[in-house]
Chain A
Amino acid sequence: MSAVAAPSVYAGGASVIAVGVLLAEFGMFRQALLRDQVRLYAAQSALISVLAVLVAAARHLPELYVLGALSAGLKVVIVPLVLRRLLRGIGRTGGQDGAGRDGAGAAADAGPGWTDIAGSGSLSVASTVLLAIAVAAFGFFAVGALDIHSPVLPPIALSISVSVSLVAFVLMIMRRDVASQAIGFLALENGISLTALVVAAGMPLILEVAFLFDLLVAVVVFELLIRVHHGRADSLSTAGLTRLRG
């Protein structure tokens, strides 16, 4: 896999999928509706599952088939379902008592666009994307300079996976509604899964399964707390979360 020779089909395909994961994350920046963001998250997770299966086939690591299937089941099907159910439930209650809501800080889900995403108050979408590109580039080159070689995937995949994680932080920081922040966290988890696939493909399956189970628990708790937040603030916006300071 030297820099001069053309990459093999496997290496090229794997890199393309890794880039796809990163692009899906950038796609999340421009989505205006939560529903679309959940869809992008599912697509991103699907890409990672495909990559797991690809590595399993090319490198003869049968455990990764199981991991790919489990992670697809959880992250492409179950988690998006949980999130959609949550958004539907919130949309219903939000629609009913939306009229009596006071306007302060509740702009995020006013009117029929109840799942509008509240972007950063200080940066436009374009500036946010520029910031994310800068962060991604930093991660990409910083990790490229490290002396860490993946046993199964081309080195570029590690750089991309770290970029995915860093961009997820931008996503979490720049969004001002609880559901998008939760999706930012899930995207971070996807970035970490990708990193795990690159540098720790041989990790025992039982641990990987435990990580996935843990993700499921976390998602359920996130969902509960989003409901709590929505129940109190009658909005997904975090603009009102300024009581505790000092």
Chain B
Amino acid sequence: MAGYLLRRALMMIPVLLGTTLVIYAAVYALPGNPVQSLAGANNVVPPSVAHAIEAKYHLDQPFFVQYWDYLSALLHGDFGVDLNGNSVASIISVGWPVTVRLALTTWVLEGVVGIALGLLAAVRRGKTIDVAILAGTTAVLGVPYFITAYVAQIVLGVKLGWLPVSGVTAGWPLSYIVPAGCLALFGLPEISRLTRASVLDNLRADYVDTAVAKGLAPRRILVRHVLRNSLIPVVSMLGVNLGYLLGGTILIEGIFNLPGLGYQIYHGINQHNGPLVVGISTLLVLAFLLVNLIVDVLYGVLDPRIRLA
């Protein structure tokens, strides 16, 4: 196990390097004029000011020099200063809790509701409730979640006034319920369908026949044996999902005005704010890789058949 963890940790390094290089290069290659953006899009930039701006942000260096400077600073934990003069580390430290709360709330929602629905559909297979859940989750799959977000915002927040629809001033959980709910709709159908399929698979397994023959109560069989085995692939999918959630909050944070990392990164891309975009992306990649590592370990713990080679 220790060897496996070490190898995985080492493998993360080239991945991190690769991702930072690609993102840095992409932001660098964006059309537009960062000097003009920094000075103000409508402003005239005399050569003296242009030179001063370039010197201040090291924009006059060749690409690889800029990348190297950035990388070395990053290795010291210095995320640098973005093109507005703000410390990227402090922007991240303010935005990170919001995104984490949103992602975790979404994750728990889609996990709990998804598994519950999937389980219900599986044990009542073929009955109305199964069909209803299947139809419901399939219908949700088709509607884009940003549409749902807008509609929910108008209906729940403005017309009915039940829940806040903008900003995080109402704190957790109130400010996060509607956004997390909308975002959860994206992953919920998959979780529920996978749970159902997995439970159905396991219900057919030999050990269940054995348990029934032994005279165990159905509920006990379900909870102690079937569920635990069925959840293995679901946990794996949930894990992958969390990683995607961290990066995929852009739309939801924008619509609900939550000042998280997704919001910052989108704003940063629009402003061609290289250091900010790269800094946040690096962090997201790191988080994603860590989450996957944890999921793999958990997978091994849950399923003794899988001995990580």
Does chain A bind chain B?
Answer: no
Residues of A within 8 A of B (CB): none
B residues lining the A interface (CB < 8 Å): none
